[in-house]
Amino acid sequence: MDIIRLDFKSGLEALLKANPIRAIFLGVRIGDPTAVGQEQFSPSSPGWPPFMRVNPVLDWSYRDVWAFLLACKVPYCSLYDRGYTSIGSIHDTVPNALLCRSESSSSEDKFRPAYLLSDGRLERAGRAKKLISQSSSVICNGLRSDDVNLQSMFTASVIAVGDEILFGTVEDRMGSILCRKLHLIGWAVAHIAVTRNDIDSVAEEVERQKSRNDMVFIYGGVGPLPSDVTVAGVAKAFGVRMAPDEEFEEYLRHLIGERCTGHRNEMAQLPEGITELWHHEKLSVPLIKCQNVIILTATNIDELDEEWNCLIELMKSNGLLAITEPFVLKRLSTTLSDVEAAQPLSEMCFEFPDLFIGGYRESRKDPLIISFKGKDKGRISAAAEALCNKFHPGAFSEID
């Protein structure tokens, strides 16, 4: 064993410079964060020293790894016998709570060994959970602000999948309802999109949004029909394959019985290595979570309400949801023209960069509505008053 006391990239450069190495065997598996886009033989990434990455266990599951280690009596880190299932640094590694022995009184045998974890997809539950947050400043009203409230704001993206929406055949009511629900828990919706019933289209949109937002919610296209491509699109966005899930198939069997034979197994395929099934007694099928992407199976408003309430309960219990002050909305109505209101509104955006200030009309003949959205009622009232002071008395009337 050679020990190189350098950072990973520098150490790799030194190793390859000193030795005529053309290929390196790695222990990467398909569910690992670094496995995105890799195959059994993959050249090193751009900007890194050139060599061939060889991934002999890329397709191995968590269960495959432990079957090999135990059958061949391969020595392994003793932490795995104490309930650790995914070992990183000392700062983010904890025993997996799913292996806790509730009946144990001794601290040493409080956790069962890693090879007894029944669901290998939850291997990385052995990492300390942290609330996701935005590290960069948030842009509001087109302006970048260093306001503390904006920096701590959580953002979400909403994606609807459906050619029917794009053709105007059906109206997407779920998107607006979901935005309101997110605002009620203090989350800002940074983006809402509608994509085609096409795996590549779904994958491209999910890939864009999952790295920009704390959470992505996607719905539509979940089921046995040829147009139901949402789950496959999510898998492609993460660079993982679809694989049969026995637990999910069991739920489907209870739900649909033998009515769907030809495509039942395909419906039970989920993104491998990144999927968590979240169970709730009120839901006939578990919620599907792929890292920071939540796949909703609701097809109407009533189902969305029930699914959302269950999701909030589950996220709270898992420590993955930050509920902050809800957004407050104040609206003013005016008969002023857009031209008359434009410059004063631009000044308001500079004076109150921590608020979302906008204007719209229900139709061309309707009054202009000025909306103020934020989390500080005092700031919203001050902004509304400041705008009214820029015009003659009675120019604005308050709606709510």
pLDDT of 230 strictly over 70: yes
Distance CA 104, CA 315 (A): 27
pLDDT of 12 strictly over 50: yes
Q: For residue 151, give the H/E element and its range.
A: helix 148-151
Residue with tokens 């026995």: 246
pLDDT band per the 50, 70, 90 thresholds, residue 136: very low
In one letter, which amino acid is 310? Answer: C
Residues of the chain with pLDDT > 90, as a percent, come to 36
Mean pLDDT computed over every residue of the chain: 83
More confident residue, 230 or 148: 230
pLDDT band per the 50, 70, 90 thresholds, residue 3: confident
What are the structural domains, with CATH classification, of the chain? 8-54 (no CATH), 62-126 (no CATH), 154-317 (3.40.980.10), 328-398 (3.30.70.1130)
Q: For residue 238, give the H/E element and its range.
A: helix 230-238
Residues of the chain with pLDDT > 70, as a percent, come to 86
Q: 356, 381 in Cβ contact below 8 A? A: no
Q: 183, 151 in Cβ contact below 8 A? A: no
Please state the pTM of the whole predicted model: 0.62
| Nearest to 266, CA basis, from 281, 247, 279, 249 | 249
Q: 212, 157 in Cβ contact below 8 A? A: yes
The mean pLDDT value for 88-114 works out to 77
What count of other Cβ atoms lies within 10 Å of the Cβ of residue 304?
A: 20
Question: What is the maximal distance between C-alpha atoms in the chain?
Answer: 85
Give every CB contact of residue 275 below 8 A, 6+ residues apart in sequence.
Answer: 121, 245, 288, 289, 290
